[in-house]
Amino acid sequence: MLLDDLIDSAQSDELLDEFAKREIRRAILAAVAIPGYQVPFGSREMPVARGWGSGGLQITLAVVHDDDVVKVIDQGDDDGVNAVNLRRLVTTSTGADQTSIAAEASVIQSRHRIPEDGLDEESILVLQVPVPEPLRGVERDMRELARMHAEADYSRMWVSLYEDKVRNGVITQTTGYPCLVNDRYVVATTPIPRWDIPRLHESPFLTLFGAGREKRIYAIPPRTKVEPLTFEDVPFEVEHADGATCSLCKSNAAFLVSLPNSDVWMCSDTDWCRRTREASA
Amino acid sequence: MTNDVEYGRYPVARLAVPEWMLKVERLGRVYGPYDDTVITSTGPEIGSSKSAVNGAVVAAWDVSFEVAAGEALGLVGESGSGKTTVLRCLAGDVAPSCGEARLRTTEGDVSMFDLDSSARRRLRIDTLAVVYQDPAEGLKMNISAGGNIAEPLTAAGWRNFGKIRDRASELLTRTEVPINRMDDLVRSFSGGMKQRVQIAKALANSPSVVLFDEPTTGLDASVAAGVLDLIRSLLEEHRIAAIVVSHDFSVIEMLTSRCLVMQHGRVVENALTDQLLEDPHHPYTQRLVAAARA
Amino acid sequence: MRREPVLDVRRLNKSFVLHAVSDRTVVAFADINFTLSAGEHVALAGMSGAGKSSLLKSIYRTYRPDSGEVWLQIHAGEYVDMCSLTDAEVAAIRGHEIGYVSQFLRSEPRRGALEIVARSARQRGMTDHDAREAAAAALHRVGIEERLWDVYASVLSGGEKQRVNLAAGTVHPPRLLLLDEPLSALDPENRERALTLIASLTHRGVAVVSIFHDLEAIQRLASRVLVLEKGRLVAERSPDELDERLTSAAR
């Protein structure tokens, strides 16, 4: 009977018991039903510290089954220490397989990047979010924030964009650019680069955002309108480094990052870079 | 001497009078529980707005008036008279205890106190603006002058940066704020300049009603004169229905054609401004005018 | 010839209750009756304190009379009793049917003379363009040169202000014009211009009630003089019969 199953699973070695999974799934459903709306949830203790992807991890654990294939990246890299750690936690806890090829994965958990390719209608992208509140820079009061979202009163956000443009000539927000989802809620896309923002618009895949420390889940369902906030006469521009190409695969079709204090550029998505090299070899 | 000719009764003409833009009926605001005995235990005859029955404060009671487009109505009285309470109820900053306020809009009459907070907010963006005594209440000090004006514009749906800037410059020019200070933080402005920015912001979406709460109190006399002059010409230019709250009769005289005198939460006299200044009837009005003339 | 009056004052009474002085009552005037037709100019005469200015202000409704009626013609054959109008109605009539010119120019300090006079004309229904033209003509008539037209009114001399005031009051003259010592600060040359202007108004059919402290002005302009003494209308004279004493400017 239901209660017995629940008690059984509570005594298992899984990181999230069935109670927890239910609650998180309900939160995810609410989030998907109201695109861009931040759904509060009871964030559990995880074996990763707060600020290191505990929210994303909880979402992944709640949606993954043992027949899923999981890819975990950190800034585009499958081999980063955190990515490796998280991937191990997920696979041992859920019994799912792992891969580094996005096209083969059914669930992709990521910190700071969307993989360059391979996401389709079957994919779920889980993004780790440190600060889910896009208005945090312009307002501190919780009730006022709730009112602003409830009444779609984003004028203070617009004023900060205005001030930014006045002061700097351009809107300087780089990662985590605020976007209007489904013509209704403004979300923090933190912390993916501008490069990835246009890919959220009308995407074929489902994107879930998890903030463990702040205890919020929000979602962008497939085929949803996502517009970066900008003035109609100030075009939204993605990152661009003149003449830069990846020092490994020689391409500039993917998002590039430079090594500190150097002019050496490399693809952020390491797996994409590897496949590109293999294809041209 | 007697009339040369007796005409008997004269045929009376009907006068065309401008329709009201804002109509307030029996507005009241009480802090604390109240009933009839509480109300009657307060007022000018009693000499207090605080009830001896239960300590409730009848900040304003039974206030009614109309304002037409292009007309400025004064609310004068000392502090504690209830004039600011009335303004705050109309601004939506304070909820009234009773009474009605109707606003004429292009879509018909709106009962202001029956609106939900979202609709009330829209009213404040599109139709009704407030200029506060303290500029810090109406402006964000850590935002530029242009940015402060951008707020009501973006709230009204403006999304073009160039047009927002043009409109902000136009308003700042009209309120005589130097354009080269448009991008300076408001915090860095003088008191008089801050008020001008507040006025510019209030006019951003061309409201039909503007409420002024002691607009020049705290400013130097010469600075105040300039601001009053500006307000007066703006009201004329834009046919705004205005309510001016002040304890200072010279402000009332400069800006308004009609005026209500309030004391202990009640309206004690309601007349044309020049009548109040030259032929005050109520003892309290006479005291106020005598003090102003002194 | 019997003509419909423009103004018919009946049994008008005004007193002041001074609450600060134990509610003492001071009578400004009592039981005033007179009529005035279009094109007629009647002057009020009497010692200072006799109630002349109070009467004028009561007709204009700056003072609120205690009782009585002030019938004013609005259109041909139609009247209103100023004493029974609402504030909004009085405000609507002022500046249209009835005008008041006092000694002082009351205006924003930073308005130019042309703008002040033009605004007066606009209030009386003229279009922007016509109002400015009329204002220019009115300022010429009172001898204010063009170079002063955009100067802030506050920096004009007393005499210049008075002339601007007069121009504003007469640019598009109302049916009834009330003049309360409008020439007191003028030098002889400008006074002459002003008198000519006021005389021309009556030729145009404006009904005028005035207070002048100088005899010559009364004799030039008025067809009748009403003499007040201690708030009562004690006599009606023709201007030539007037006693110098009754036009004393003593304050």
d(CA A156, CA A148): 9
- Please give the pLDDT value at position C231: 92
Q: Do B1 and C90 touch (CB under 8 A)?
A: no
Mean pLDDT value of segment C235-240: 88
Helix (H), strand (E) at residue A41: none
Please state, in angstroms and as integers, the Cα–Cα distance from residue B36 to each residue in B33, B42, B53, B58, B266, following that order.
Answer: 11, 10, 11, 11, 15
Indicate the pLDDT class of residue C56, thresholds 50, 70 and 90.
Answer: very high
Q: Is C3 a residue whose pLDDT tops 70?
A: no
Beta carbons of C131 and C209 less than 8 angstroms apart? no
Phi and psi at A35, nearest 5°, equal -55, 130
Most confident of B61-65, C164-168, C185-189: B61-65
Q: Do A166 and B162 touch (CB under 8 A)?
A: no
- Residues in A whose CB is inside 8 Å of some CB of B read 147, 151, 153-156, 158-159, 162-163, 165-167, 231-234
Find the closest chain A residue to B157 by CA distance: A155
d(CA C217, CA C191): 9
More confident residue, A93 or C249: A93
The alpha carbon of B92 is separated from its chain's Cα centroid by a whole number of angstroms, namely 13
Q: Residue C62: which of B3, B279, B286 has the nearest Cβ?
A: B279
Mean pLDDT value of segment B202-229: 92
C contact test, residue of B2, B17, B64 with most C CBs within 10 A: B17
Q: How many CB pairs under 8 A join B and C?
A: 96
Tell me the three state secondary structure of residue A114.
coil
Q: Is C119 a residue whose pLDDT tops 80?
A: yes
Cα angle B50-B52-B55, degrees, rounded to a multiple of 5: 55
Q: Which two tokens stand for residue B58?
A: 């009848």
Q: Angle, to 10 degrees, between the axis of helix B145-155 and the axis of helix A155-168? A: 140
The residues of A carrying an active-site annotation are: 36, 246, 249, 267, 273
Beta carbons of C171 and C142 less than 8 angstroms apart? no
Report chain C's mean pLDDT, rounded to a whole number: 89
- Please give the pLDDT value at position C249: 44
B contact test, residue of C69, C107, C110, C227 with most B CBs within 10 A: C110
Q: Do C91 and B229 touch (CB under 8 A)?
A: no
- Please give the pLDDT value at position C1: 38
Q: Is B35 a residue whose pLDDT tops 50?
A: yes
Q: Do B225 and C78 touch (CB under 8 A)?
A: no
Domains of chain A in sequence order = 11-134+189-224 (3.40.50.11310), 245-281 (no CATH)
- Please give the pLDDT value at position A9: 62
Q: Residue A231: which of B121, B151, B160 has the nearest Cβ?
A: B160
Q: Is B42 a residue whose pLDDT tops 90?
A: yes
DSSP structure string for C166-207: HHHHHSS--SEEEEESTTTT--HHHHHHHHHHHHHHHHTT-E
Q: Is B6 on the interface with C (CB under 8 A)?
A: no
- Please give the pLDDT value at position B194: 96
Q: Residue B160: which of A153, A163, A232 has the nearest Cβ?
A: A232
Find the closest chain A residue to B149 by CA distance: A159
- Please give the pLDDT value at position B287: 93
Q: Which two tokens stand for residue A59?
A: 């979402």
* DSSP 8-state code for residue C23: T
pLDDT digits (tens, 9 = 90+) for A167-221: 998 888 777 789 999 999 999 997 899 999 999 999 999 999 999 999 999 999 9
More confident residue, B227 or B10: B227
d(CA B103, CA B20): 8
Q: Where are the beta strands (DSSP E) in chain B?
A: 20-31, 57-68, 72-76, 98-105, 108-111, 128-131, 209-213, 241-246, 258-263, 266-272
Task: Kindly list the residues from chain C whose CB atom is less than 8 angstroms away from the CB atom of residue B270.
Answer: 87
Query: What pTM was estimated for this model as a whole?
Result: 0.89
| Least Cα separation, residue C106 to chain B (angstroms) | 9
Beta carbons of C36 and C178 less than 8 angstroms apart? no
Q: Do B17 and C88 touch (CB under 8 A)?
A: yes
* DSSP 8-state code for residue B114: G
Beta carbons of C244 and C64 less than 8 angstroms apart? no
Indicate the pLDDT class of residue C222, thresholds 50, 70 and 90.
Answer: very high
- Please give the pLDDT value at position B12: 87
B contact test, residue of A135, A138, A159 with most B CBs within 10 A: A159
Beta carbons of A110 and A205 less than 8 angstroms apart? no
d(CA A113, CA A256): 11
Q: What percent of chain B has pLDDT over 90?
A: 84
Task: Kindly list the residues from chain C whose CB atom is less than 8 angstroms away from the CB atom of residue B287.
Answer: 19-20
Q: Taking Cα atoms as reference points, which of C26, C208, C105 lies closest to residue B279?
A: C26
Find the closest chain B residue to C92 by CA distance: B17
- Please give the pLDDT value at position A12: 63
d(CA A118, CA C28): 97
Q: Which two tokens stand for residue B279?
A: 């032929």
Q: Is B7 on the interface with C (CB under 8 A)?
A: yes
Q: Residue C20: which of B17, B254, B287 has the nearest Cβ?
A: B287
Q: Is B237 on the interface with C (CB under 8 A)?
A: no
C:94-113 residues touching chain B, CB 8 A cutoff: 108-110
Tell me the three state secondary structure of residue A161.
helix
Q: Is B283 on the interface with C (CB under 8 A)?
A: yes
Distance between first and last Cα of chain B: 39
Task: Kindly list the residues from chain B whose CB atom is less than 8 angstroms away from the CB atom of residue C34.
Answer: 1, 3
Q: Do B162 and A163 touch (CB under 8 A)?
A: no
Task: Kindly list the residues from chain B whose CB atom is less than 8 angstroms away from the CB atom of residue C17.
Answer: 281
Q: Which two tokens stand for residue A277?
A: 């090299």
Q: Do B150 and A156 touch (CB under 8 A)?
A: no
Mean pLDDT value of segment B113-126: 93
Report chain B's mean pLDDT, rounded to a whole number: 93
Q: Is C203 on the interface with B (CB under 8 A)?
A: no
Mean pLDDT value of segment C42-64: 93
Alpha-carbon torsion B53, B59, B65, B66, what sign?
negative
- Please give the pLDDT value at position B186: 97
| Least Cα separation, residue C189 to chain B (angstroms) | 33
Alpha-carbon torsion C141, C145, C151, C152, what sign?
negative
Does the ipTM surpass 0.85? yes
- Please give the pLDDT value at position B5: 43
Distance between first and last Cα of chain A: 58
Q: Is C19 on the interface with B (CB under 8 A)?
A: yes
Q: Residue B155: which of A155, A167, A234 has the nearest Cβ?
A: A155
Q: Residue C79: which of B11, B225, B272 has the nearest Cβ?
A: B11
More confident residue, B165 or B117: B165
- Please give the pLDDT value at position A183: 96
Beta carbons of B291 and B277 less than 8 angstroms apart? no
Q: How many CB pairs under 8 A join A and B?
A: 50
Q: Do B258 and C71 touch (CB under 8 A)?
A: no
| Amino acid type, A55 | G
Indicate the pLDDT class of residue C67, thresholds 50, 70 and 90.
Answer: very high
B:246-275 residues touching chain C, CB 8 A cutoff: 254, 257-258, 270-272, 274-275
Task: Kindly list the residues from chain A whose CB atom is less than 8 angstroms away from the CB atom of residue B117.
Answer: 147, 151
Q: Taking Cα atoms as reference points, which of A231, A185, A249, A204 lies closest to residue A33?
A: A185
Q: Which two tokens stand for residue A224?
A: 């949803």
Q: Do A166 and B164 touch (CB under 8 A)?
A: no
Counting CB pairs under 8 A, whether chains A and B reach 3 or more, is yes
Q: Is B4 a residue whose pLDDT tops 50?
A: no
Q: Is C251 a residue whose pLDDT tops 90?
A: no
Strand partners, A108: A71, A125
Beta carbons of C128 and C155 less than 8 angstroms apart? no
A contact test, residue of B124, B159, B183, B205 with most A CBs within 10 A: B159
| Least Cα separation, residue B230 to chain C (angstroms) | 9
> ω into residue B44 within 30 of 0, thus cis?
no
d(CA B267, CA B282): 10
C: neighbours with 3+ CB pairs under 8 Å?
B
Q: Taking Cα atoms as reference points, which of A185, A190, A183, A130 lies closest to residue A157?
A: A185
B: neighbours with 3+ CB pairs under 8 Å?
A, C
* Residue where the block lists tokens 């106190």: B113
Q: Taking Cα atoms as reference points, which of A106, A129, A130, A136 lies closest to residue A119?
A: A106
> For chain A, which ranges sit under pLDDT 70?
1, 8-13
Beta carbons of B268 and B261 less than 8 angstroms apart? yes
Q: Do B164 and A233 touch (CB under 8 A)?
A: no
